[in-house]
Amino acid sequence: MDNIPSTDNHIHVDPINGEGPLEVALKFHRSGGTAMIIPNKPTWTVSPQCSFDEVMELVMEYVDEINRETGVKAFAVVGAHPAELSRRVKAGMELTMAEELMRGALETAQNMVMEQKAVGIGEIGRPHYPVSPEEMEAHNRLMIYAMELAREADCPVQLHTESSTEEQFREFAKMASKAGLKKKKVIKHFSGPLVLPDENHGITPSLIASGEVMREALRKGKNFLMETDYLDDRTRPGAVMGPRTVPRRTRKLINSGLLTEEDAYQIHVERVEKLYSVDLDL
């Protein structure tokens, strides 16, 4: 049980507003965590003047620091959060100009993946809050464009969207087909327990690692990833879930008989390696 691997598929680090990469990684590692997939945070969390390029470069620096200074394997996922578009439109920028900026950011993310500095494009997607129909159309166009870029780079995308049911998963699968991206390469971040094929339509669910979600998911299958969506923000301590959660939850599930060590290896190592084309070297 001491060597059970665990990967947090969506965890943030933030030395400006939070504890930073080393402290988060060490908490994760001391609890048994072995790998972290880290998306860049939005530009405004760094400074009002921060560019897309800069915020993506920062997360890669954080990943390098974790890999150099801790026993955790860390990987960067880079992209433009949908709120980046919303904030620019709200500030008075024309929607077409804001969408073009987002396209440029996604192209930068693709370049970083192709240069092997990052392992995926994300988090990208659409808002979980109300916006105009015109803005929502722009978000949907950007989602498909991100999937097209991911197809060219042969990498996954991590989706940030509204709370999603089987209906939304079907929509995401259609987007992936339109973009020519393998459906399993579309990872629904902050997913509920939509594990069955007729629920997720081939999309990979990354489950928020609460006990309730995990128990319901495991009644149906084991085709998922696990995450905390930890924000590393001092104003919201422990949000969304703390960095120790995934390794601790994995061990609790094994101890309760709901998960085997072989299941854990498949979820936390084999599936991660296949999706992101990485070697966790465990």
Q: Is the pLDDT of residue 2 over 80?
A: no
Tens digits of residue pLDDT in 211-228: 999 999 999 999 999 999
How much is the pTM?
A: 0.98
Domains, in order of start, for the chain: 7-276 (3.20.20.140)
pLDDT band of 282, cuts 50, 70, 90? low
The b-or-e profile of 250-281 (16+ CB within 10 A means b, else e) is bbebbeeeebeeeebeebbbebbbebbeeebe
Per the model's pLDDT, the better-predicted residue between 282 and 89 turns out to be 89
What integer is the mean pLDDT of 75-83? 98
Q: What is the mean pLDDT of the chain?
A: 97
Q: Is the pLDDT of residue 1 over 80?
A: no
Contacts of 202 (CB under 8 A, 6+ apart): 173, 176, 183, 184
Q: Return the pLDDT at 281.
A: 80
Tens digits of residue pLDDT in 198-210: 999 999 999 999 9
Q: Return the pLDDT at 124.
A: 98
What integer is the mean pLDDT of 241-250? 98
Q: Name the H helices within the chain.
A: 21-30, 52-69, 82-90, 95-114, 133-153, 166-179, 197-200, 211-218, 245-255, 261-265, 271-276
SS3 235: coil
Q: What percent of the chain has pLDDT over 90?
A: 98
Tens digits of residue pLDDT in 247-271: 999 999 999 999 999 999 999 999 9
Contacts of 101 (CB under 8 A, 6+ apart): 52, 88
pLDDT band of 120, cuts 50, 70, 90? very high
Q: Return the pLDDT at 138.
A: 98
Q: Return the pLDDT at 3.
A: 82
Strand partners, 226: 207
Tens digits of residue pLDDT in 162-209: 999 999 999 999 999 999 999 999 999 999 999 999 999 999 999 999
